[in-house]
Chains A and B, each alone.
Chain A
Amino acid sequence: MSGISRRKFLKSTVVAGGSAAAAMSSTKSAFAMKEFDGYPDSMGVLVDFTRCIGCRTCEAACNKEHGLPEPELPFDDFSVFDQTFHEGKQKRRTTDKAYTVVNRYETKGPGGPVYRKIQCNHCNEPACLTSCFVNAYKKTKEGAVIYNPDVCVGCRMCMVACPFSIPAYTYNSALHPEIIKCNFCYDNRLKKGKPPACVEACPQEALTFGHRKTLVKTAHERIRSNPDKYVDHVYGEKEVGGTSWMYLSGVSFDQVGFDTTLQHHPILDNTKSFLSLVPMVLGIWPALFMGFHLLATGGKGKKSESKEEGHGE
């Protein structure tokens, strides 16, 4: 201490403390953030059902863009809207040959039938991604949820976890089965800042491409300026923690086949309470059960055991 005067010591302490505080305050916000609301520059698509006329142009564009097999019925055949499956309990859905499909819903409203496009909604915190035990999925900063077949083991947990039942699987491939789903045209379009093929093809401007944050504002703006035309709900703004694809409708969403009971926090949250037990069990059980062992046997477990064995033989 002799070399350092009291004044010097105090001064250096204050400086060190101050810089530490400064460093802490800059990282504080990062550490304090427990919620992930999606990447700041995530793109998205706003789907407006009041504008959709069911022309299926988006389906055709998607098919062409991804080189998918020719469908059984051509894209200008509108009898597909009458198709139902499983005794009428299900309409058409995404398959291993179609990333997106449009369905028609007869509704009670005066506006006639409503057409609904379905495809991957590209969640902010996707259940497929967080439930995958080999990390086959990735949420890109542009907002797309993409899948890597090279590490996929084929457990199909993602199909179980997807709250929108979107992923399909090529069950009929023996050697290279993989998950098939919309990838937001990531490689050829989204990465370069271009809208996906379906959006570009839509003749009705029912699909609007843009930054997700802007689209949320656009959606609410449309509702505000036309309160009679829309129900006051932007589907996908909050559902399962928010999705990149969001929807506006003139009729209540349950009438057009949406699950309106979905939680507003990410599916991942459901597993957190259990997963937080894991390190505790790993940390506590050994000592706890060794303690029980000592209490129960008085530490003589080994001896009495060998005696028992002696008797048995």
Chain B
Amino acid sequence: MKHFIKKGFKPIDSLNSPDDNHRWTMKQKLLLGLSPGEYFQQFRRNPFNWLLLLIFAVGLPIIVYRYFTGLGGVLHGSYDYPWGLFLGFGLFGMVPLSASGFLLGTAVELFGQTKFKPILKLALLNGLLGYFFAVVFLLVDLGCPWRLYYPMFVSWGTAAVLFLVGWHVATYLSVQILEVSEAFFEWVNWPNAKKYIHSGTIGLTVAGIILSTLHQGALGTLLTYAPGKVHPLWYSQEFMWIFYLCSSVFAGICMVMSVSTIVVKTMAWRCSREFLDNIDSITIGLAKGATMALVTYLVIKLVGITHDNEWSYLATGWGKWFMLEIFLGVVLPIILFCIAIRKNSVGLARFTAFLTVFCLILNRLNTALISFNWNLYQEIPHPLETLISITIFFLFITVYRFILYRLPILYSWKTEPEK
């Protein structure tokens, strides 16, 4: 793509072609304005595409295989570890990283922090795709995925926390589809639909806050069903929900920082001037927000340990692992973010965001998998399970990139000039 940009090519960003003022066709929009031959050329030139093809060539057949053999073909089929990477990573990890949508929505739409407006659409899309792929992970993990709608329409287990999670993820997914649909309606040129959705922005944002507060917390509460199984250091009957909610705040912020970094480094051609000019100050602004959430999280984690008097566990092997997680994922990011904010170092802030995202996933894996059954035995995920998880994650990246290339997320759509 950079090759074409150098030659003076301009990807489609408007309703009409600037040269002869004709409407772009859907095919042209999909190919970004390149001819099919040119599009294939740029596709071939990018080594990342070959990596994707390789991963999908290996991974997609394994996913198909899973539906023929049942879960037993790709999991160890353990009765003691009913949940593996699909939920530990796919659900428990992806959902907090997707909190970006409601956080930035709140900041911009509710609190009027227009400073963050250029990144808002990216944050919303990040939220939508994260939830969507959490559901994809679920479809692989459930024994009977074709019954996914059962908790909504067939049989209600209203006392269950998972009932709340299911309903909220479903409703919130719809809310996020509506929020992101504005960009889609611009792209397909349905101005009335866009206007209609836009009129409900505040309502959607408030709905987003409610649903996010509850289901981010509910994910943590799920583990209070297994009090003896999760290691006490990661477990807290009273505070599980607030741990998960609070960590989703910095996780969502750091995820959108990380994604914006990748965007700026690999597809600057797609970003508007406004986005590129503001991204550095936005990154520092987001770092400030993340730091506050991290400090809060550190405090409540300490409260959690004190409340259950778990200090003695810190001296054990599990304690060291716990302290490593807290140091790398909370204390170090606080220090690095503070330095980055003081020195206005965007690079350091970005590195720290990646570190925090990585450690957040580690935290979720620690709670749901690694420290799970700490009294029993450890289980290493099945190789095929790992491959499927990697495949779905790269599917996430592919869809993400496909949308960013096309919809007006990073740039603004130019409509017909009024005559």
A residues bordering B, Cβ < 8 Å? 86-87, 89-90, 93-95, 127, 130-136, 151-157, 159-161, 163, 165, 167-175, 177-178, 259, 261-263, 267-268, 270-271, 273-275, 277-278, 281-282, 285-286, 289-290, 292-293, 296-297, 301, 304-305, 308, 312-313
Contact = CB atoms under 8 A, between A and B. Distances in A.
Contacts of B106: 289
Given A130-B160, A270-B237, A278 B214 contact: yes
Interface stretch (B65-73, B248-256, B314-322): B65-73
Given A93-B79, A271-B224, A157 B162 contact: yes
B160 A157 contact: yes
Contacts of B299: none
Contacts of A87: 377
Interface of B: 67-73, 75, 77, 79-80, 82-83, 106, 109-112, 114, 117, 141-145, 147-148, 150-151, 154-157, 159-166, 202, 206, 209-210, 213-214, 217-218, 221-222, 224-229, 237-238, 240-241, 274, 376-377, 412, 414
A87 B378 CA distance: 10
Q: Interface centre among A132, A133, A136, A286, by most B CB within 10 Å?
A: A133
**Secondary structure class of chain B's binding surface, majority of residues:** helix
A136 to B, nearest CB: 7
A156 B83 contact: yes
A262 B117 CA distance: 50
Given A133-B162, A278-B214, 17 more contacts: A93-B79, A133-B157, A134-B150, A134-B151, A134-B156, A152-B144, A154-B144, A155-B143, A160-B222, A165-B80, A172-B70, A173-B70, A268-B159, A275-B221, A281-B214, A304-B114, A305-B109
Given A131-B160, A133-B160, A271 B221 contact: yes
A5 to B, nearest CB: 52
A226 B218 CA distance: 48
Nearest to B373: A165
B160 A292 contact: no
Given A173-B70, A271-B224, A281 B157 contact: no
Nearest to B141: A155
Contacts of B70: 170-175, 177
A173 to B, nearest CB: 5
Given A174-B70, A285-B209, A285-B213, A292 B161 contact: no
A2 B219 CA distance: 65
Contacts of B227: 163, 263, 267, 270
Contacts of A135: 155-157
Nearest to B70: A174
A134 B67 CA distance: 22
Q: Interface centre among A94, A157, A274, A296, by most B CB within 10 Å?
A: A274
A161 B165 CA distance: 16
Given A160-B229, A275-B161, A90 B72 contact: no
B228 A130 contact: no
Contacts of A175: 70
Contacts of A95: 79
